[in-house]
Amino acid sequence: MRWIRAHLVAIAGLLVLSYMLLPNIVVIVFSFNKPKGNYNYEWQRFSLDAWTNPCGTPGICDALGLSLRVGFIATLVSTILGTMVAFAIGRYRFRGRSSTNLLIFLPMATPEVVMGSSLLTLFIAMGIAPGTVTILIAHILFCLSFVVVTVKARIASLDPRLEQAAADLFANPFQAFIRVTLPLVAPGIAAGALLAFSLSFDDYIITNFNASPSSVTFPMFVWGASQRGTPVQINVIGTVMFLAALLLVATGQLISNRRAKTAA
């Protein structure tokens, strides 16, 4: 009893963590299922069918490919634009700085349905047909603010004396930026890009307002499938993305650990 009281926080924390991971475990386990009907909700028997044939459901790999392409481009553009904005806010005093901050904050405070539907009214009013381009515009929009906030936090935590030291050692501003500032801000930019990709890859609500039947992203495919039956391949792709994310973050951690060691 005393042991439980002493470790109350740990027990509660680990219980919450298992609540968070439970659906992922279900997704992984059911990727080895062989369901009876169209719906993969009840365990029948072990099978590797879906793993040996991940594109076996029509349209699933096209949707995955579109999501990866959209995610890649949206991440690239929003990371570049967002990093530039973050440097402007983090490094300069200028007129309109607080309204700029507000403009960055507002998209994060807008519910996704409202953002998606207002973009749709704009596209309708301008006569732009929905498709891959409108999806990209929307994704870059909602990723941008999150990149700015993440990179800005990193810039704020930098020691300005490091750049002054570079200047004292006769680095010109460009060299100081490339050799000193950019490497120091890089972890923040990487975190922002990772966040942007996960937001873009996972978005359903905003995408749904700005997509056409010929531009089906992976979340839209999952949604459509869930109305008719859920193919096991969905679980396979969900599992692969989960493991890829774990691997990616673990690698990043290793690299930064090694850097910290060589620096010390």
Partner 1 sequence: MSEPGGDAAVTEVQRPRRVRPSYTPYLLLLPGLAWLVVFFVVPTLSLASQSLQTGNVETGYTLTWHFQTYVDALSHFWPHFARSIIFAGIATLLTLLLAYPLSYFIAQKVGRWKNFLLVLVIAPFFTSFLIRTLAWQTILTDNGPVVALARSTHLTDLLQWVQLTNNDSLMNSRFAVICGLTYNFLPFMILPLYANLERLDHSLIEAAGDLYATPIKTFWKVTWPLSLPGVVGGTLLTFIPAAGDFINSRLLGNTQTVMIGQVIDSEFLRVQDYSTAAAVSFVLMAIIVVIVAFYVRRAGTEELV
List the interface residues with partner 1, window 7-26 (CB under 8 A).
9-10, 12-14, 16-17, 19-24, 26
Q: How far is the CB of 157 from partner 1 (least distance, A)?
A: 12
CB of residue 107 vs partner 1: minimum separation in angstroms? Answer: 5
Instruction: List binders of partner 1 among 120-179 (CB under 8 A).
Output: 120-122, 124-125, 137-138, 140-141, 144-145, 148, 160, 163-164, 167-168, 172-174, 176-177
3-state DSSP assignment of residue 144: helix
CB closer to partner 1 out of 29 and 48: 29
Contact between 230 and partner 1 per CB under 8 A? yes
Count of all residues that appear for the chain in the document = 264
Of 111, 137, 146, nearest to 215 by C-alpha is 137
CA atoms within 13 A on the CB side of 27: 16
Please answer whether residues 188 and 153 qualify as being in contact, where contact means their C-beta atoms are separated by less than 8 angstroms.
Answer: yes
Long-range contacts of 103-110 (CB under 8 A, 24+ apart): 104/144, 104/145, 104/148, 104/149, 105/145, 107/141, 107/142, 107/144, 107/145, 108/145, 108/146, 108/149
84 binds partner 1 (CB under 8 A): yes
What string marks each residue from 46 to 75 as x (binds partner 1 by CB under 8 A) or -?
A: ------------------------------
Q: Minimum distance between the CB of residue 50 and partner 1, rounded to whole angstroms?
A: 13
Q: How far is the CB of 175 from partner 1 (least distance, A)?
A: 11
Look-up of token digits 């719906």: 39
- Identify residue 162 by its one-letter amino acid code: L
Q: What track of x and - describes contact with partner 1 for positions 242 through 261 (by CB under 8 A)?
A: x-xxx--xx--x--------
Q: How many CB atoms lie under 10 A from the CB of residue 22?
A: 10
CB of residue 4 to partner 1, shortest distance in Å: 14
Query: Tokens at residue 84, please?
Result: 């530039």
Considering only residues 32, 74, 185, 201, which one is a binding residue for partner 1 as defined by CB under 8 A? 201
Q: Under the criterion CB under 8 A, does residue 219 sit at the interface with partner 1?
A: yes
